Each structure stands twice: as structure tokens, then as C-alpha cells.
Chains A and B, each alone.
Chain A
């Protein structure tokens, strides 16, 4: 079993824990905001944040990338 599959299993388990917790209340979230009550809020938030991060930064890279020696003539 490769690492990617293991990771997917872990994610599913963590999601399941939260869904089960909705019914069973075996631990308490000390959430300060309403959104935190959603099952796996942190997981989905992290996933979305990382995908957004990757998308925005590749756009950024596209626009802002120059050659490695771009600044080399800034001596004079």
C-alpha cells in the first residue's frame, strides 16, 4: 500500500471520527466560531486553503518569474 492510499485512509478516518462525534459526543470541540461545528471543518478548510494557495502561486509564478541572473547587472 503506497503512502497516498495510507493518507486517504487517514483522512477518511478523521472525517468519520467527526461525523460519529455529531451523534455520540464522545469529545467536545471548544469552537469559538459557528463554522467550527461543521464536521471536519478544519480538514476542508486546510484542503481548500492549500488548493487555493497552489493555484494563486502558480499564477503569481507565471507573471513574476524571471531568469536566475535577473538582478546581476544591478551593480552599476
Chain B
């Protein structure tokens, strides 16, 4: 076995464990060097199955390298490297270890060749990533981290339960395409759905991501959800339910993103919108659509990473990513502002930027297969994301007048700028020369995004969406931004269930009190009667004469004879 046949991901996990004992300089070197080494390994390795082990009659495949896993592997190593550059100034051993082992586990999951191996990495990502939330070291982030961890572990439990049932039924843990025809696959599907932020299973995402550290969110945004999309693409391609789940996912977070004040939460919602596009692609399941999902995952990691980095830099300098605290930063942070515009153009799918060349594949697939409603919903999502993310984030943070007094700030540190620059260059590079990405797609779809018709229609969509924003802004009709909590579905378990539980306790209390009152009454009545009958003057305690006693006995005997022998 040569080094290229080691399961990808181990290199980062081992490095992460080593980082727990190394001094700062060596840790930084590891964080920068290991993603490069890992990427080199992927370039060197031949497609195939490696590290296969028989384990109590179960065939485990530690590493499956094929065109589907490779594209995710590439982008995860790129994300790990960009994240490491962005994170370079941070002196926090816990975050170094967490970030590296987290990236490594996500990469391991993507190359896992069987369900059990997948499960192990699945849980590792949950545990390691939670520390990026805890690392903010505030009471708020601690509680959000615990909620996050609970949901992530629940996802793993569902997955494991499904795997166990699947193994009992089929005798195999091979990780191949499945359908929703049994309870086992349905459980796995839901487990994956939690990490993929399916509607109603998604609240961990906008809850935890805005509370992680400035650099931690950059790592978080890249791995967990995209790993889930890969798992769907591998395990449930062409499952029609996914089309509708994805379409709903692409639309409903828009409403919350539009009124949210915390810009990192706005980003979390628009991340979910982008996931919706990928899920639709997986659900349609044609080669073009699956290539679209893979391409959109690839570009999404880049431009969402870029925007989370921009907000990370803003937090690093101003201490806040809330729109109500920001504004007017363009002069003080011109580089960050310019890079923000590139990220915004990419997520909004401007021609010549990364989002355009990947989103087109999915929209075209939806149109081709005649899903007109899904197509229309995705179009709403395209307009909406430009409206509430592409325009609003740069506007609120950099170009609108400052909304609060603050100390003068300076440009983001050099390592942050460098990381954002790498992501921005890749966004533009892929946008300008889409062939660079298309040739690595799993099915190598031939697609030409730059036709005159397509460019014009996309520009129309964007220009008129911008017109809507500008007009609403001038008319003062955009929601006024202020610090607030906008309730979401997690209200049901963070508040609603507690209220129900409190009520249940109250009712139980009252009922038991009433019951107790009733019982005491009965017991009291029995005691009173006994006392009444048995006291010295009572009926049962009176002394009687022998004659009267004989009379009573005779009467009882007579009654007895009458009843039984008559």
C-alpha cells in the first residue's frame, strides 16, 4: 500500500490530533501544509477502492475514489486551505484542532465506500464542528453549540438506525444508490436530511452558524451541508421527493433572510437556498442535473466561503455583523468591500461569476424535464437571493451610511485579505472559464452557459430585481433594521414544547392535588364510621344480655337454614 492509497482525510485528522500538542508556529505550518499535501494525494491517486477490510463478516471500504467523490474531495481540500489562511492570525489551539479534524472527517465521509465508514466520519464531523461554535466562548454560543450538537447527533442516530436495519434486511452495508422503499432507507434519508437542512429540520443552521467564531463559520459553511448533498447524490439520486423538498428549501428561507438583522444569519439562510438548488438537482437525477448539483456545491463552497470571510473580517474589526451596527465601512475597508462585491456577484449568478455557470445547469435540467413549478420556484429564489443577499449584504455593511457611532477601523489583516482573494480569483476564474470546472464533473456534461439568450435573460432578472430593491429603498418600504429575534420553526422546541411541558406539569399538579383531596376524604369517612360504631356507646361496642345474644344467634341460624335449604 502506497501513501496515495491511504483514505483521504486521514492526513488532516492525524494533523489535527498532532496539533493538540504542537506549538503555534508548527500548528500554523500544518494547517497550511496538510491541505496541500492532501490535494496532491488526490491528484496522484487512481480511481478505485482502497483500504478494504473484512470486519465480522461486513465488507468495509475505507476509500472509494471515483469521479463523484473526487470533485467533492477537491473542493473540500481547497476550502480547508482557504480557511486555514483566513484563520492564520488566530491563536487558539482548540479551534486549530477542531478545524483540521472537522475538515478531515468531512473529506473522509466523502470517500467512505460503505455505510458504516460513512457513519463514523458523519459523527466525527458533528463532534469536531461543535467546538467551532463553543470556541466563541460566550454563554450564547455555548447554548447554541449544545443545541447544534444535539441535532447533529440525532442525525447520526437516524443514520445508524437506518444502516442497522438495512444491514439486517440485505446483509450488506455497501453504499450505493437507494430508493425510499423501506423504513431503513427512510431513516437514513431523514438522518442525511437533518445535515442537509431540509425544511423543518434546518434550524440548527441559522441557529449555530452565526454564533461560531469569525473564522469558525468559514469552516462550518463549507463542509457539513455539502457533505450531506454528496451523500444524497450518492445514495438517493433521482428520488423525486427531493425535487420538492429542494424547491421548498430554495424559497421559504428567503422570507427570513429578507428581514434578518444579523448578516451572518442572512448568509445562513441564503446558504440553505443554495442547498435547495443542489437538492433539486439530485432529485431530478439526470446526468446534467447531478453534474449541476456537484458544480453548484463546488462553486457554493467558494462564494459562500468568501461572503462568510467578508463578514468574519467585519466582525474582527468592528465586533459585530449586525446590519444595525454597520454601514459605511467601504472607505475604511476598501479591499474587503471589493471582495464582498465579487462574492455577492457570484452568489447572485452574474454572468462571468461562479454561481452563474453552476446554477444554470440545475435550472436548465428543471426546465428540460418539464417541472415548471419547480423551475419557477428556483427562479424566485434566484431573484430573491440577489435581492436579500447579493445587494443587501454589501449595502448594509459597506455602502449605506453608518448606522451607529464607532471607533475608526482599519482594513482586515493581510492573511484574511489573502484568503478572500484566493476565493475571489477562483470565483471569477471558474465564471470566465467554466470548462475548468466542467471537465471534472462526475458525468462530464457538455453545457454552454454563455449563449446570448441566456446572458440577456439573466441580466434582465438581476437588473429588475435590483430595480425592486432600489425603489423600495427610496420609498422607505424596506424593513427597518433593528436588533430583534424573528421567530422561526425552532420556536416549537425552544419555547413551544417548554410551554406545553409547563402546562402539563401544572395540570398534573392540580389533578394529583384533587385526587389526593378525594382520597383523604374517603379514608377520613371510613375512620369516622369505624370510630362511630366502635366507641363505648357505639353499636358494635355495646354489651348485650345472654338472652338477646341467643335470640340473635337463633335468628341468624334460621336465616341461614332458610337461605340454603329452603
Contacts and interface: CB of A to CB of B under 8 A. Distances in A.
Contacts of B372: 33
Contact of A28 (B384, B453, B486, B488): B453
Contact residues on A (Cβ < 8 Å of other chain), bracket? 35 or more
A58 B453 CA distance: 34
Given A46-B461, A64-B486, A68-B484, A7 B470 contact: yes
Contact of B456 (A14, A69, A74): A14
Contacts of B461: 42-43, 45-46
Interface residues of B, number: 54
Interface in A37-73: 40-47, 49-51, 53-54, 56-58, 60-61, 64-71
A28 B464 CA distance: 21
Contact of B467 (A11, A33, A58, A74): A11
Contacts of B451: 27-28, 30
A46 B486 contact: no
B266 to A, nearest CB: 12
B258 interface: yes
- Residue of A10, A27, A32 with highest tally of chain B CB at under 10 A: A32
Contact of B255 (A45, A50, A57, A66): A57
Contacts, number: 152
Contacts of A61: 259, 479, 486
B466 A40 contact: no
A61 to B, nearest CB: 4
Nearest to A76: B498
A34 to B, nearest CB: 10
Nearest to B490: A71
B540 interface: no
A29 B143 CA distance: 52
A65 B466 contact: no
Contacts of A27: 451-453, 456
A50 B468 contact: yes
Contact of B460 (A4, A14, A28, A69): A14
A75 interface: yes
- Residue of A36, A41, A45 with highest tally of chain B CB at under 10 A: A45
A53 B367 contact: no
A22 to B, nearest CB: 13
Interface string B455-484: 011111111111111101010011100011
Contact of A51 (B256, B382, B468): B468
A53 B388 contact: yes
A14 to B, nearest CB: 5
Given A10-B463, A45-B383, A50-B383, A65 B456 contact: no
25 contacts: A7-B466, A8-B467, A14-B464, A28-B452, A30-B451, A32-B367, A32-B368, A42-B458, A42-B464, A45-B383, A46-B463, A49-B384, A50-B469, A53-B383, A57-B479, A58-B479, A61-B479, A64-B488, A66-B486, A68-B483, A70-B485, A70-B487, A71-B494, A71-B495, A75-B143
Interface of B: 143, 254-256, 258-259, 364, 367-368, 370, 372, 375-376, 379-380, 382-384, 386-388, 451-454, 456-470, 472, 474, 477-479, 483-488, 494-495, 498
